[in-house]
Structure 1
Amino acid sequence: MSTPTTVPASERIVTTRSARLRAFIGRHIQVIAIAAVLVVLVVFFSATADRFMTVGNILNLLRQIAPTLIVAVAMTFVITTAGIDLSVGSIVALTGSLLAILIDTGVDPSLSFLAVLALGALVGAVNGWFSSYQGLPPFIVTLATLSIIRGTALRVTEGYSTPIKDGGWVLQLGQGRLLGVPIPAILAVVIAAAGWFALTSTPFGRYVTGLGSNAESLRRSGVEIRRIGLIVYVLTGLAAALAGVLVATRLASGSSNAGVGFELEVITAVVLGGTSLFGGRGSMLGTILGALTLGVISNGLVLLHVSPFYVQIVQGSILLLAIFGNTKLWSRFGTAKR
């Protein structure tokens, strides 16, 4: 009778560590992949565009991507619940335009600022009410509000831009700096950090993930899932309103044409970072890296004097590839739809 062989303790430790490493890579493969792509892009543009790695350009890049990152943080919650919000670009246009109009008519800048934030939250509440409480598909609901809000912005402005001449401290939200760093970039970092903490370390974050992965089980555990659905859309509307303020104050002008294609950029950043379009899996770190990647591509192409029309082509292509990887490619690493 043969004696069973005993695996040495050192080999068991190595095997365990190897298994843990494979599991870690499997869970975070998309974040690792987008981080690698970002590094490659930074190296490429650093070698081909002389001004890319200058302090001035990096700060300008951070200021430009701040609105996208702020809304992408909120959109991560929405998509993690298996929803989507297509109205964010229209909210950016309407809130920026109304901010300029209110200030131009003599309304206090602080009141104007609060009013447009409240409007954004209201639009988000409407989206959330129809989607969560009435059971309508979020795609259809937010597509409808996209049209309604964009049309409202065009009607209010009659197609013209409104300059912001005396915005006081509100104007500094888009143009000011703190210790040399653009205020929009600081706001984006703070909001991204808060979003990461909320998604990974709070009951609300667990409810959001549970709503996307198994809503019925979450409901049976006593969680009011409709309220969670409403909250995430309110957050997205609020974030889009803040983005509208940042865009308008950076340009010192509110325009109904602002935010065209903005929703595409935001959704691309979220999906590129590994958040599942089917819900149940969200990555705030991935969203941050996705927004940075899109910003680097846009900024680098401009510095290389590539036509800006190609930026949209590149973004659309990236979105298609990201969805393909999200639904097909990464499933081999254990991150398929749950």
Structure 2
Amino acid sequence: MTGETPSSPQAAPARLHAAAPPRHRQATVADRLIANGSVVSIAVFFLVVCLLFSVGTDAFLTRPNLLNVLRQSAPLLIAAAAMTFVITTGGIDLSIGSVLALVSALSAALLQFGVPWPLVILLMLACGGLIGAIQGYFIAYEGIPAFIVTLAGLSIVRGTALLVTGGYSIPIDSGSPFVVIGRAWVFGVPLPALIAVTMLVIAFVVFNETRFGRYVTGIGANREAVRRAGVDVRITTLAVYVISGMAAALAGIILAGRLGSGSSNAGQGFELEVIAAVVLGGTSLFGGRGTIVGTILGALTVAVLANGLILAHMSPFLTPIVTGFIILVAIWLNFRLFRGSLRSR
């Protein structure tokens, strides 16, 4: 016979070829789900939290409350985006809350001395960048662990803020254009939220679409391999701490504008909220893996938890306990369910 039958040897490769694409597509989908499992998990957790507060309180889903959550979470979102870069390199920055406080206090002090508000903003961003550069130098060039350097920075910078203010709040004139940064609304949306969205978009593009972002991930995954590939890992490491310092400064500017004062007590525990948001989003504390989308969801989850627990009329002393417990459980599930699955594959 010259014709091919279904059982002929020539028909077998054709059948295998026809069947291969569906199996390949299914494997690809499964791989993507596992690879992005941390983001999926925090997205589901975020939706569940929102649903619970929507059912349990009358005010949570109202437009004023949601806009208020966005406005109040703007500093957290900005700092968390920068912290994603830091933690992805395998580092940590414990000083961001202190930088926020120092910038808040210095902004108010400079405005009282009559320094023009645009110059104040530029000086404060430069101050945050300088603090980040100093810490980054000791981490990248002197080889001192980031935890030690930034822990020392936390104490030094907070102490400087206390020295500047004497422990008191410094008021900002409500008529100053500076307060517009924290209080203005644009097309019905808080200006701080728009600033945060802009910073997040920039962070997403830089992290995912540029060489710098790939270097950041590579340094966290295998620093020596990246160095041998010809990348200056020290300058890249220093740069992420500069970014972190400037982000904390921007957060401090927004907070000072919204509150109408600068205080050395601002940002107490801010660094822990930022780190929690980043880790909740799926960025590995050991470096080599980060996600800006996950960080956004993590930061919003932290903000929604704080807001929803207050609306539920829980004691303010109980709120941090509940928030910390929920964050711990969420991170534990993240590690157990998704990172374990990835290793098993």
TM over 0.5, shorter chain: yes
For 1:178, the equivalent position in structure 2 comes to 186
Question: What aligned pairs does 1:75-90 form with structure 2 within 5 A after superposition?
Answer: 75-90=83-98
Instruction: Please give the alpha-carbon distance, in whole angstroms, between the structure 1 residues aligned to 2:312 and 2:275.
Output: 26
1:226 to partner: Cα distance: 0.2
For 1:254, the equivalent position in structure 2 comes to 262
Q: Does 1:282 align with 2:301?
A: no
Q: Does 1:331 align with 2:342?
A: no
Q: Does 1:46 align with 2:54?
A: yes
1:22 to partner: Cα distance: 1.1
Tell me if structure 2 keeps the 8 A contact 1:271–1:322.
no
Tell me if structure 2 keeps the 8 A contact 1:271–1:319.
no
The correspondence for 2:162, drawn from 154, 164, 168, is 154
For 2:126, give the aligned amino acid: A
Q: Does 1:16 align with 2:24?
A: yes
1:20 to partner: Cα distance: 1.3
The correspondence for 2:240, drawn from 214, 232, 241, is 232
Instruction: Please give the alpha-carbon distance, in whole angstroms, between the structure 2 residues aligned to 1:240 and 1:25.
Output: 33
Question: What aligned pairs does 1:86-105 form with structure 2 within 5 A after superposition?
Answer: 86-105=94-113
Looking at CA atoms only, which structure, 1 or 2, has the larger radius of gyration?
A: 2
For 2:128, the equivalent position in structure 1 comes to 120
Give the unaligned 5+ runs of structure 2.
1-6
With over 3 angstroms needed to count, the CA separation of the structure-2 counterparts of 1:326 and 1:138, relative to structure 1, is farther
The correspondence for 2:213, drawn from 205, 210, 213, is 205
1:309 to partner: Cα distance: 2.4
For 1:299, give the aligned amino acid: N
The correspondence for 1:219, drawn from 223, 227, 231, is 227
Q: Does 1:196 align with 2:200?
A: no
Moved more, 291-300 or 321-330: 321-330
The correspondence for 2:250, drawn from 242, 251, 256, is 242
For 1:60, the equivalent position in structure 2 comes to 68
1:316 to partner: Cα distance: 2.6
State the identity %. 52
- SS of the counterpart of 1:86? coil
1:109 to partner: Cα distance: 1.3
The correspondence for 1:317, drawn from 320, 325, 330, is 325
Q: TM-score, normalised by structure 1?
A: 0.94
Runs of 4+ in 1 over 6 A off after TM superposition: 2-6
Question: What aligned pairs does 1:21-40 form with structure 2 within 5 A after superposition?
Answer: 21-40=29-48
Question: What aligned pairs does 1:162-173 form with structure 2 within 5 A after superposition?
Answer: 162-165=170-173, 168-173=176-181
Cα RMSD over matched residues? 1.8
Q: Does 1:70 align with 2:81?
A: no
Tell me if structure 1 keeps the 8 A contact 2:174–2:260.
no
With over 3 angstroms needed to count, the CA separation of the structure-2 counterparts of 1:82 and 1:233, relative to structure 1, is same
With over 3 angstroms needed to count, the CA separation of the structure-2 counterparts of 1:38 and 1:323, relative to structure 1, is closer
The correspondence for 1:307, drawn from 312, 315, 340, is 315
Instruction: Please give the alpha-carbon distance, in whole angstroms, between the structure 2 residues aligned to 1:121 and 1:23.
Output: 39
1:165 to partner: Cα distance: 0.6
